[in-house]
Amino acid sequence: MLELIEEFNVLAAFWMTIKLALLSGFFALVIGTFVAILRLSPVAILSWAGAAYVTLIRNTPLTLIILFTSLGLWGQLGFEPASRDSPTFIVDLNFRLAVLGLSVYHAAFVCEAIRSGVNTIPLGQAEASRSIGLTFAQGLRHVILPQAFRGAITPLGNVMIALTKNTTVAVAIGVAEAAAALRNMIEFRPDVIFLNFFVIALGFVILTLPLGLLTSYASEKLVVKR
């Protein structure tokens, strides 16, 4: 098993998975929070735009979105988030396009997670913030969102776990992550196909299990006691 891991550079593949997950997780959180604010805002057209984003993105398969970033955005529209002079041009390009696709897709779920966090806040909090004269933006920033994030830890953690597993889809545009490693391993060592599967599957269990435990620990620790 160790020899297999060394031969096919499984650790490097999982490092790629982790990088994809962390970067996309960060961007998804930023975009998702922005969309959630749009959805909660008093201006009808903004909340409509946020809702449209969530409905469209959430109902599209991730595979399609990631392929589209490469074949459509890059191939057809010439969107090129990497420099051609760099020796690692293709690798960088595919990695960044995958991060873009993963972030855009999971932002829709982050938005819904935050909205469910907003739902855990009692009415009195919002009323109190209004009655002391805070504007919508101030109330959101000082009262609603801090509590919403703390209430949304469980769904946010679940999004992060799903995101970690979904990074495998990046294999569709040639990112050398865990699914690509599995394909290589099966191609060159078909004799130990079950072990190949087990190694990669175990890697994902090792990545997602602590995330799940961390999520339930953090949600208990950070929940707003009422």
Partner 1 sequence: MSAQQVLFDVPGPKARVRHRLIAVLGLLAILAVLAFILFRMDEKGQLAADKWTSLFEASAWTNYFLPGIWDLVRAAVVAIILSMVLGLLLAMGRMSDLLPLRWATTVFVEFFRAVPVLIMMIFTFFYLANQEWSNDSWNPFIGVVVGLTLYNSSVLCEVIRSGVGSLPSGQREAGLSIGLNPSQVRRSILVPQALTSMLPTIVSQIIVIVKDSALGYIILYPELLTQARNLSSSRGNVLQAYLFAALIFILINYALSKLAEALENRQRRKAAGAGKKAKQDQQDGEEGVGGSTDESVQHNTQTSQATGS
Q: Which CB, 88 or 213, lies closer to partner 1?
A: 213
Residue 112 is a binding residue for partner 1 (CB under 8 A): yes
- CB atoms under 10 Å from CB of 26, counted, come to 12
Distance between CA atoms of residues 167 and 92, nearest Å: 16
Identified binder of partner 1 from the candidate list 84, 87, 123, 221, rule CB under 8 A: 123
Is residue 177 classed as helix, strand or coil in its secondary structure? coil
Burial class (CB in 10 A: 0-12, 13-18, 19+), 4: middle
Q: Which CB, 97 or 163, lies closer to partner 1?
A: 163
User: Which of these ranges, 5-13, 18-26, 75-83, 89-97, lies near partner 1 under the rule CB under 8 A?
Assistant: 75-83
Helices 89-119 and 153-166 cross at an angle (nearest 10°) of 160
Helices 10-40 and 89-119 cross at an angle (nearest 10°) of 40
Distance between CA atoms of residues 137 and 37, nearest Å: 9
Contacts to partner 1 from residues 147-206, by CB under 8 A: 154-155, 158-159, 161-163, 165-166, 168-169, 171-172, 178-179, 182-183, 186-187, 190, 193, 196-197, 200-201, 204-205
Contacts to partner 1 from residues 19-58, by CB under 8 A: 40, 42-47, 49, 55-56, 58
Q: Which CB, 59 or 84, lies closer to partner 1?
A: 59
Q: Which CB, 7 or 86, lies closer to partner 1?
A: 7
The type of residue at 102 is L
Identified binder of partner 1 from the candidate list 22, 51, 91, 130, rule CB under 8 A: 130
Q: Which CB, 86 or 212, lies closer to partner 1?
A: 212
Size (the chain), residues: 226
